[in-house]
Amino acid sequence: MTSLEPPTLKASLRLLSWNVEGLNSPVKRKKILAHLATLKPDVVFLQETHWSSPDNHLRSPWIGYQTSAPFTNKKRGTAILLNKSLPFTVLDEVNDPQGRFTIVMMSVLGETYLLVNVYAPHPPHLQFFSDLYATLLQYTFTHCIIGGDFNAVLDPVLDRSRVGTSSASLRASVGPLFLKDHLALFDAWRYINPEGRDYSFYSHPHDSFSRIDMFLLSSSCYHSVVDATIGMIHISDHAPVTLDLQLKMPLPRSRNWRFPTSLLHSSDFKAHLELS
């Protein structure tokens, strides 16, 4: 169990998800870390780390915890980082041997969060999401946050710059929609932007944009969402997406009243009791 509890309490939680398209280049790692530092996330989901060993790590003063699911070099790989300013306790972690997901169960201010970082296959297979669903059913949690690169959109009309209504496009959405519906999740960005259009990924072969990077949240987070944004497509061909949640602040501890025993030796107090 990893625990880090700084002296100050946080009022909000910022999560960030980013398909970085490889972290093996020292120059690129430096750029990624510099950009992350400007966004000030508390929790980071990274996809396509391209790490081949669990010993690979990012090094930065703000990182208080990290775990990753490596795969073969230049393929797949997911990682979750936690900011040391977050008063967290890690209760459990699971890293997929196929480099497709990383799960961290953490506690923050008495609330349990199941963090699930996903890098879905392309095209996304229903079996992958069905197996992931079965894995997540093993956990008991207050809040569930699933983020990452789903390699599919939820809405072929609103989430693509070129409307995709082909059978292949519709089939690609089946997996993410299965997970969303069976876990009763909602799309954080779409919650903030019901009819909005913005995109997190640019496909060079198709010369098109799509919103395939997102956060799906359990209904327990519904009233906690403050903001959800899509950043610039920068460094990678994916944009970082962020989510801000309001944290439930713990109630102040009530102090038990104690009778001041010194009054027992006060003649005035004794006289008052006799008159009463």
Catalytic-role residue among 65, 113, 119, 199? 119
Q: Is 48 annotated as a binding residue?
A: yes
19 labelled ligand-binding: yes
In this structure, the chain runs to a length of: 276
- 149 catalytic per annotation: yes
Query: 């996330």: which residue's tokens?
Result: 41
- What would the 3-class secondary structure string for 50-118 be? CCCCCCCCCCCCCEEEEEEECCCCCCCCEEEEEECCCCEEEEEEEECCCCCEEEEEEEECCEEEEEEEE
Active site residue 206: no
204 annotated among ligand-binding-site residues? no
Is 151 marked within a binding site?
yes
Cβ count near 80 (within 10 Å): 26
Cα–Cα dist 31/37, whole Å: 10
Please tell me which residue in 42, 149, 159, 187 is annotated as part of the active site.
149
Contacts of 176 (CB under 8 A, 6+ apart): 120, 124, 129, 150, 152, 154, 216
The answer to whether the annotation marks 73 as part of a ligand binding site is no
Which of these is catalytic: 143, 199, 238, 244? Answer: 238
Does the annotation list 237 as a binding residue?
Answer: yes
CA distances from 76 to 22, 63, 96, 159, 164 (A): 9, 22, 11, 24, 26
Question: Annotated binding residues for Mg(2+), as ranges?
Answer: 19, 48, 149, 151, 237-238
Give me the active site residues, please: 119, 149, 238
